[in-house]
C-alpha cells in the first residue's frame, strides 16, 4: 500500500476543471512565494486583465505569469519531464532557464516510473526535491509547485495548495527540511493539511 494514498480519484478533465475553477485562489496563494500580499479581490481583478491602484507593475507581472503557468499545466498533455519543468520555469519567471544536470532527468524518470508510489506521493516528493535542489536561477518554489500539481492533475489526485494561514508553520518545516534533507515530516504534514479536491457523487 502506498505511504500517501491518493485522497481524490477524479478524471484528468475533472481535475483540470477543478484547478481552473480555483485559479484565483491558487495564484493568490502561490504569489506569497514572492512576498506579494494583495487581497483575493485584487487578485481576481488582475486575473480579469485589469490593473489595481497601488500595486507595483512587477507584482502584477508575477501574478500574470503565474496564471499563464497554471493555464499551461492544465492544458498540456505532455508528461512531466525535465524539459516540461524548464517550460514552466520560463513561463513563471519570464526568462529562459539554464541547462539542468542529467541526474535530475534520471531522478524524475525513476520517480515517474515507480509503480509502487501513488501520484500524490510522487508529487510531494518532486515538490520538495525540486525546492531544495534549486534547479533554476529563479522561481524554484513556483516551478516546483506547478510541476507537482501537473502530476496531481494528470492522475486526478486533486491539488497541492497550502492554505495561507498555515504558511508560517510551513515555512518553518521548509527551513528545517533544507537543513536536514529529511523529507518525511514535511511530506506528511503537507499530505495532512494541503491536499485539496472534490468528491463527486
Structure confidence at residue 53 (pLDDT): 87
Structure confidence at residue 105 (pLDDT): 84
Answer whether residue 1 is part of any domain.
Answer: no
Structure confidence at residue 160 (pLDDT): 98
Contact 166, 173 (CB under 8 A): no
Nearest to 143 by CA among 177, 94, 193: 94
Low-confidence ranges of the chain (pLDDT < 50): 1
Q: What is the pTM of this model?
A: 0.94
Q: Residue 135 half-sphere exposure, CB side, CA atoms within 13 Å?
A: 32
Answer whether residue 81 is part of any domain.
Answer: yes
Answer whether residue 65 is part of any domain.
Answer: yes
Q: What is the CATH number of the domain that holds 23?
A: 1.10.3290.10
Distance of alpha carbon 107 from alpha carbon 62, whole angstroms = 29
Answer whether residue 68 is part of any domain.
Answer: yes
Answer whether residue 76 is part of any domain.
Answer: yes
Structure confidence at residue 147 (pLDDT): 98
Answer whether residue 30 is part of any domain.
Answer: yes
Place of cell 500574470: 64
Question: What is the extent of the structural domain holding 91?
Answer: 12-196
Answer whether residue 6 is part of any domain.
Answer: no
Nearest to 99 by CA among 85, 79, 78: 85
Place of cell 526568462: 95
Structure confidence at residue 59 (pLDDT): 93
> What is the tally of structural domains in the chain?
1
Answer whether residue 151 is part of any domain.
Answer: yes
Amino acid at each position: 500500500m502506498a505511504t500517501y494514498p491518493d485522497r481524490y480519484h477524479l478524471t484528468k478533465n475533472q481535475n483540470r476543471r477543478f484547478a481552473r475553477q480555483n485559479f484565483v485562489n491558487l495564484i493568490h496563494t502561490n504569489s506569497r512565494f514572492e512576498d506579494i500580499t494583495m487581497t483575493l479581490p485584487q487578485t481576481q481583478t488582475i486575473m480579469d486583465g485589469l490593473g489595481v491602484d497601488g500595486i507595483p507593475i512587477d507584482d502584477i507581472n508575477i501574478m500574470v505569469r503565474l496564471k499563464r503557468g497554471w493555464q499551461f499545466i492544465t492544458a498540456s498533455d505532455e508528461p512531466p519531464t525535465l524539459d516540461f519543468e524548464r517550460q514552466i520555469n520560463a513561463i513563471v519567471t519570464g526568462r529562459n532557464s539554464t541547462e539542468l544536470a542529467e541526474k535530475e532527468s534520471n531522478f524524475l524518470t525513476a520517480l515517474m516510473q515507480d509503480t509502487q508510489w501513488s501520484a500524490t506521493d510522487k508529487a510531494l516528493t518532486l515538490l520538495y526535491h525540486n525546492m531544495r535542489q534549486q534547479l533554476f536561477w529563479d522561481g524554484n518554489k513556483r516551478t516546483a509547485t506547478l510541476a507537482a500539481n501537473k502530476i496531481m492533475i494528470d492522475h486526478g489526485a486533486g491539488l497541492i495548495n497550502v492554505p495561507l494561514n498555515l504558511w508560517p508553520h510551513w515555512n518553518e518545516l521548509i527551513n528545517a527540511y533544507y537543513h536536514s534533507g529529511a523529507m518525511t515530516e514535511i511530506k506528511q504534514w503537507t499530505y495532512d493539511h494541503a491536499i485539496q479536491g472534490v468528491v463527486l457523487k
